[in-house]
Structure 1
Amino acid sequence: MTLTQQIITIGLCILGTMLTRFLPFLIFRENRKTPEVIQYIGKYLPAAVFGMLVVYCLRNVSIVSGSHGLPELIAILVTCGLHLWKRQMLLSIAGGTVCYMLLLHFVFA
């Protein structure tokens, strides 16, 4: 990649990032009511994304061979427990991921 191509690529990345950050504030002004469909999406999209993450993570788990899905099940239980306890999605995801990695590295290696 030439220097010109690198500069164009970086500029487009900056433009795309700034556009996605500032566009909602330009479209949905403070003095107008947010449309119902946007409120609906804001309410249900985080849970839908979390559900897709779970499906994606478990798509190749085999319960008939290997560790029979035990590390995954334990990590899911830790994730759910952390979320019920603290109600913080980032902590839940990070805790479940760390638990899963530790189980794979030390217990089910």
Structure 2
Amino acid sequence: MPPVAEPGLRSVLGKPGYRRLWAARTVSQAGDIAQFTTVALLVFELTGSGVGVSGVVLAEIAPVLLLAPLAGPLVDRLPRVQVMLGADLVRLLLAATLAMWHTDVAAV
């Protein structure tokens, strides 16, 4: 039996569904990084405290560590695309709420 060739990057990116998923995830990840950096810089600018920035990092990490073991099995039973869209929509609403709640966000 001849060896099976492993698919390369070209063959994977040749699939339109995967390309759309990859592009959407890349944009989402860029937004996550921008949001996290902006909030950390805002906290540092407003407080001048590294401890405040540490609080931001803790606030970002703690929910993932605490909720992932519970949410993972539940989310695995739901349609993946709807879960991803719903999660991104909730994050968008939370970021917009933060922007409206604190007018100094535009200063960063």
> Which category of TM-score, normalised to the shorter sequence, fits these structures?
0.3 to 0.5
User: Which structure's relative contact order is higher, taking Cα pairs within 8 Å and 6+ residues apart?
Assistant: 2
Bigger CA radius of gyration: 1
What's the TM-score once normalised by structure 2's chain length?
0.37
Q: Which has the higher helix share?
A: 2
What's the TM-score once normalised by structure 1's chain length?
0.37
